[in-house]
Amino acid sequence: ERDFIGVEFKKIQTKLNDLESSKTPLLNQQQQLEHHIQQITEKRNLLNQQLADTQQFSSLDKGLTAHVQQLTQFIQHYQSIENQLGNVSQAETKLIEQKTQLQDSIHQFGTAEKLETQLEQTRQQREFKLSQLNQLATLQQKLAQFFELKIESQQLNDRLKRCSAQFQQLEKTTIQTEQDFQTAKQARLKLQEVLQQQRLLHAENVEHLRAELVDGQACVVCGSTTHPYHRDDSAVSKALFELQQQQEQQATLKEQETFNLWQAAQQDLTKLSVEQQQLKTTVQNVTEKITVIQQLCIEQGQSAQIPLNLTQTQSEIKQQLEQLTQQYQFDIQQLEAQSKQWIQSIKIQQQLSQSVQHTEHLLQNANNLHNQVQHIVSCLAEREKNAWQQYSITTAQHILSQLNTRTQQLEQLELLSKQHDQYLQQLNTAQLNIANAAKQISETAHSLNEIKLKGQQNTELANQLIQNMTGLTEVKPNEWLTQYEHEYQKIQTLYQQQKQSFNQLRNQFEHEKVSSNNSKPSNNTIRITQSSESDISMAHSASAFS
């Protein structure tokens, strides 16, 4: 019981010390928590003062993050619109001007669809005029060929006339040369006949004739009035023969000359006849070409709606076609100018229409964006609303900065509130812990006093028992108890040693028992066991005595 009281006393004393030690951290924790709560309160007060600067946005606090996101999107999209439009008010004014310009253009020229139709008609007219101009150029070329062929035909006809005249003249010449040839031929033949007769006469009457020759009178044979050989017969015969031969040669030469002239005239006539035939063929071909080109010119003129009178002279037709060319070129220029003007008008109308649609679309988007953040704008003062109308982006950015700041302040305030609540809970817990610790300290101190009293009573009882047991009056209970404790420890040690030895012997016995196949145990083993058991019994007895 004394040991139990001692142990309980130490336990309670330790518990009391621990409780008193644990109370100090709790007090420190309480002090720290109170300090934190004070700091948080000061921060909350400061944040509330700062939030008062943006009190006009307090109605947005519940969904402030969503409102900030809306305003951020407004700034992004509205900035994009302003980048395209510039100032919105100026864009609205410009939109009115563009609509006015568009209406004026439509009033002056018609709608773009109407202009497209007119432009197509003008394009067709221009194509027709270009076709006429091209056909006119082709017609001019054909007319040039036509008049060239007419000139060539005229020249060929002139040549043909001259050739016909030459042919007639040459034909007469050929007939004449043929007649001359026939005459010369007949003369030669007649001369040959005469000469033959003369030769015969000479042979018969040469002597008679020669005797009758008289100087100064013509010879009946040769006609000569001189008769140098009438005395000499051989000389006369020779002279007569040479004279006849000379006459015959002259007649033959004249016949050959007239024949050559006749042949030459025939060749010239044949050549001229071929040339005349070629000219006739060429004239016919040219005439046919003229007919074909004339027909082509007439058809092309009718196709191009070009008035054409081929009975006019080339200069008159050329002048007429040049005037038509100038007129067509002028018409084409007018049509091209008109087309350019209409194309420009269409382009302007399309640009204005696209610009108006684009501007209206952007302004509608801008208006929609304003409507989406109207609940934010409604929180502004009049001066800020005016600034919003004039400088939406700048004002929105300023408001966004305020809302972001307010969001951060509200988040900080909410965080501080949570921390404040946590610290309050911790403070309450700490105060409860301190109160519990104080209560436990009080209870433990009371228990300690009780165990002290019980120990004192136990000491007095022990002293009385020792005195009764030993008969000693001078013995000190503490010393006796100390000695008793020492002896008790020695006996306990001996008991433990004997117990350990016994366990070893028993284990050895069990091992030998198994090894000897259930052989009988030796007397020594039995004695050791008995000795050990007796020692253990003695130890138990000593312990019990103690």
Q: Which of 341, 363, 344 is nearest to 352 (CA)?
A: 344
Beta strand segments in 100-175, E = none
Q: Cα(307)–Cα(324) distance, rounded to whole angstroms?
A: 10
Residues 6+ apart with CB under 8 A from 450: none
Torsion 421-422-423-425 (CA) sign? positive
For residue 413, how far is the Cα from the chain centroid?
53
Mind spelling out the 3-state secondary structure of 354-372?
Answer: HHHHHHHHHHHHHHHHHHH
Torsion 162-164-168-173 (CA) sign? positive
Torsion 507-511-517-521 (CA) sign? negative
- The answer to whether 122 and 339 have CB atoms below 8 angstroms apart is yes
Q: Cα(71)–Cα(77) distance, rounded to whole angstroms?
A: 10
pLDDT score recorded for residue 314: 81
Residue 136 burial by CB count (10 A; 0-12/13-18/19+): exposed, middle or buried? Answer: buried
Cα–Cα distances in angstroms (integers) from residue 236 to residues 205, 221, 228, 473, in the given order: 13, 11, 8, 247
Q: What is the pLDDT along the chain (546 residues), one digit of tens a residue?
A: 566 776 777 787 787 788 777 778 888 888 998 898 999 999 889 988 888 888 888 888 888 888 888 888 888 888 888 888 777 778 888 888 888 888 888 888 788 888 888 888 888 888 888 887 888 788 788 888 888 888 888 898 998 899 899 889 989 999 999 999 999 899 888 888 887 887 777 666 656 656 666 676 766 656 666 766 555 556 656 777 787 788 888 888 988 999 999 999 899 889 988 988 998 999 899 899 888 988 888 887 887 777 777 778 888 888 888 888 888 889 889 988 888 888 888 888 888 888 888 888 888 888 888 888 888 888 888 888 888 877 888 888 888 888 888 888 888 888 989 988 998 998 898 888 888 888 878 887 887 788 778 777 767 776 777 667 666 666 566 666 677 778 878 888 888 888 888 888 888 888 888 887 655 544 444 444 444 444 444 444 444 434
What single letter denotes the amino acid at residue 295?
Q
Q: Cα(336)–Cα(509) distance, rounded to whole angstroms?
A: 137
Terminal alpha carbon distance of the chain: 15
- pTM of structure: 0.43
Question: Which residue in this structure is represented by tokens 């008062």?
Answer: 52
- Axis-axis angle for helices 523-545, 477-515 (nearest 10): 160
Q: Cα(400)–Cα(65) distance, rounded to whole angstroms?
A: 11
For residue 262, how far is the Cα from the chain centroid?
96
Q: Cα(150)–Cα(152) distance, rounded to whole angstroms?
A: 5
Residue 460 burial by CB count (10 A; 0-12/13-18/19+): exposed, middle or buried? Answer: exposed
Q: Buried b / exposed e across 382-416, counting CB within 10 Å, b at 16+? A: eeeeebbeeebeebbeebbeebeebbebbeebeeb
Cα–Cα distances in angstroms (integers) from residue 16 to residues 7, 8, 26, 133, in the given order: 14, 12, 15, 129
- The answer to whether 79 and 403 have CB atoms below 8 angstroms apart is no
pLDDT score recorded for residue 295: 86
Residues 6+ apart with CB under 8 A from 101: 348, 352
Going by the DSSP 8-state scheme, the letter that residue 1 receives in this structure is: -
| Cα 312-313-319 angle, rounded to 5 deg | 95
Going by the DSSP 8-state scheme, the letter that residue 61 receives in this structure is: S
Domain ranges of the chain: 143-311, 478-545
Question: Which residue in this structure is represented by tokens 């006609």?
Answer: 223
pLDDT score recorded for residue 260: 92
- The answer to whether 310 and 297 have CB atoms below 8 angstroms apart is yes
Q: Cα(196)–Cα(387) distance, rounded to whole angstroms?
A: 156
Mind spelling out the 3-state secondary structure of 274-300?
Answer: HHHHHHHHHHHHHHHHHHHHHHHHHHH
- The answer to whether 151 and 343 have CB atoms below 8 angstroms apart is no
Beta strand segments in 193-319, E = none
CA atoms within 13 A on the CB side of 489: 6
